Amino acid sequence: MEDVISFEDLPTDAFVQILLRIAPSKRRRLRLVCRRWRNVIDSRAPVRQSRVKTLVYLPAGTAAYVLDDLAEGCYRELWNSAANPDPPACYSRVRMVGTCNGLICLYDECTGDIVLLNPVTGETLDIPGPPGHRLRQQGFTYHEATERYKIVHLAVNEGALEAVELLTLGEDASWRKMRAPARSICSLWFGVVSDDQATYWITRNTGDADMLRSFDLTNERLEPVRSLPAAANKFFVGCLRKVHGRLCVGVHIRDYENNTEIDEMWLLEREGWRCRFYLTTRRCMQEVSLPPPVVVEEEVKEVLSETAVSVSRPRPPEPEKEVVKRRLERKEEEEASESVASAAAEKAKAKCGGEREGEQKAVVGGMEKGRARTRTPEQRRPKEAGNGRTRSPSPHGSSILALIALLFFATAATPPPSRSVIFLGSFRSPGTAAMFADGVAAYDAGLARGEWVHNAILHQLNVCIHPGV
Amino acid sequence: MAAATDDAGDSNEMIRVVSSDGEHFEMPEAAANLSLVLRHMIEDDCADAAGIPLAVVAAKPLAKIVDYCTKHAAKSSGLTIEEAEELKRFDAEFIEVDTDMLYDLLVAADFMGVEGLSKLAVQRTADLIKGKTPEQNRETFGIVNDFTPEEEEEICKENEWAFQITKPPSRLC
């Protein structure tokens, strides 16, 4: 008996026990051993299909990149305004508000409109901006407790926070205003960060130390301030970001003697602030006026992953003007990809707030099969159609759609990210922008990836990444 | 040690078991009780002088299992730190076996319901698998690669996305 047996005959239950003791990352590789191993892993000890993809959206809408493989450092340009025949000035007005669950929230400074887009399906949704205000700083997030997407706008007047305005998708589509206490000085240029519970920013009162302020999304009220890492008050706050789902404060230190700038990254962990890594940057003799990249943390959940896994193969990018029309046509034609999207859409729709909100479910809910197919763009409300056929030649429309198309291109081939991390950028001085391909990866692997980023995109800079102190 | 002696003293009776290839083994009742299957047999009064037949366990692994159970039964309760350490060392040495024996132990421990040994063998196997490439795993465990080159490539592609570092919980404090 012993002579003929092999591990292939091992009872499945025992084999599953073994597999479960192996880390998912390693288990995944075992799928290559033989069919049985693959089948058992897939059916009994599945490896969560968590894929990393990072989207880099250069500010002022000049270009967007997807980083395909952080380890190898390969990336693709998704979109570039220079390649577009329309005047680039208009792109510079489209800013990214944030991303959440794979949806991207953009703000058009020309029109004051907010556009939500789903790069997986190419759906867009126009959302009215907050009334009476130029949208300055805002957050876009998914509120776990109420299962709603929320956009938070911090209405600032002469440096003081006047009110927090909140729009909840799937509700009545109006902005609700919460007055802020008097003399709430805020420093929004460091960044506004949202997680599933709150929106955070830095507040600064004259003569006082910088503090962290937050707006709680559950209770819809401002929370008491909390302190920043001590280093932030000793030197300069560089930026406020989200890293690995945690708040991160970049502290900027200038070392004039060595002609170097150091950026320490302090993460708010359970025990408090901790410096997880830092960057050193050799200062260039002449300042490079390169706008810092906006790098987003993508958090596509299973819903969207499923969609993308089975969406048909991507096609090469098309001339911009064709994109809009074709996209709409495709919607009618592509039974396959549509039906796939619909399953995910059902779920996504539920998340976004169900049936009631006719307009607002367009982005997410619009992925819904029947609706997407039966509705022609003209049947949609006029505004929404503005991003479709009717307004397609407008620079704004096509720029966004170009982005959609290209993002679609990027994400359809391979499942979209369940997580990707890049966070730096927007440092105080131009020329010291830097980003991490992946906070952890950069932390672990150090220079290689930092240099790659430096070589690939920020070639003007000389950035090194070090483990924290 | 006193406690251990007491334990053994409670069940003086020796239980006889017979391997699939007809070899007879003896162990204290306390040891046999570590096996769910044997315990049930004993409770049902099926343990007679002829011995309990174990149809799927060959002599070689059975000898090891008797060894394991005897050792663990003698030290089942009231362990001092040193004794626990010693038991750990015993386990570590015990499971240093070739893959054939490991396989036999996995199957036999599973069949006989010896929980501790099952865990030990499972962990050992997992440790063996962990650090190896798929090819090395095939070699170690005598597995034939039954994928077509196309399938293999497909899986490789899927695995490209495995570049992943576990994300810490996203809650802030």
Q: Which of A6, A23, A245 sits opposite B142 (nearest CB)?
A: A6
Contact A197 B137 (CB under 8 A): no
pLDDT for the residue numbered A291: 37
- The C-alpha of B55 sits at a distance from chain A's nearest C-alpha, in angstroms, of 12
Q: Please, which residues bridge with residue A77 across strands?
A: A65
pLDDT for the residue numbered A442: 27
Contacts of B142 in chain A (CB under 8 A): 6-8
In a domain, B24, yes or no: yes
Contact A32 B123 (CB under 8 A): no
Coil/strand/helix, residue A65: strand
The structural domains of chain A, with segments of one domain joined by +, span: 7-44, 54-300+418-467
CA distances from A9 to A151, A185, A391, A396 (A): 55, 69, 63, 62
- The CATH number of the domain holding residue B26 is 3.30.710.10
- The C-alpha of B98 sits at a distance from chain A's nearest C-alpha, in angstroms, of 12
Residue with tokens 């990866």: A441
Chain B residue nearest residue A197, CA to CA: B171
Contact B126 A22 (CB under 8 A): yes
Instruction: Give pLDDT tens digits for B105-146.
Output: 999 998 899 999 999 999 999 988 987 888 888 888 888 888
In a domain, B161, yes or no: no
In a domain, B14, yes or no: yes
In a domain, B152, yes or no: no
Q: Among A18, A274, A299, which would you mutate to test the B interface (most chain B Cβ atoms within 10 Å of its Cβ)?
A: A18
Contacts of A442 in chain B (CB under 8 A): none
In a domain, B164, yes or no: no
Chain B residue nearest residue A438, CA to CA: B165
In a domain, B88, yes or no: yes
Range of the domain at B41: 2-144
Contact B107 A268 (CB under 8 A): no
Contact A33 B58 (CB under 8 A): no
Coil/strand/helix, residue A467: strand
Between the two ends of chain A, the Cα-to-Cα distance in Å is 58
Contact A51 B155 (CB under 8 A): no
Pick out chain B residues at pLDDT < 70.
1-12, 76-77, 157-173
Instruction: Give pLDDT tens digits for A175-194.
Output: 888 888 777 787 777 778 88
pLDDT for the residue numbered B19: 92
pLDDT for the residue numbered A23: 75
Q: Which of A7, A197, A198 sits opposite B142 (nearest CB)?
A: A7
pLDDT for the residue numbered A343: 37
Please name the fold of domain A54-300+418-467.
Answer: Neuraminidase (2.120.10)
CA distances from A23 to A208, A370, A405 (A): 48, 41, 36
pLDDT for the residue numbered A7: 75
Q: Among A30, A34, A247, A269, which would you mutate to test the B interface (most chain B Cβ atoms within 10 Å of its Cβ)?
A: A34
Contacts of A8 in chain B (CB under 8 A): 141-144
Q: Which of A18, A28, A38 sits opposite B125 (nearest CB)?
A: A18
**ipTM for this prediction:** 0.81
In a domain, B31, yes or no: yes
Contacts of B166 in chain A (CB under 8 A): 25
Pick out chain A residues at pLDDT < 50.
1-4, 50-52, 59-61, 70-73, 83-91, 135, 283-469
Q: Spell out the SS3 assignment of B36-66.
A: HHHHHHHHCCCCCCCCEECCCCCHHHHHHHH
pLDDT for the residue numbered A139: 65
In a domain, B151, yes or no: no
**Total structural domains within chain B:** 1
Cβ atoms B79, B72 nearer than 8 A: no
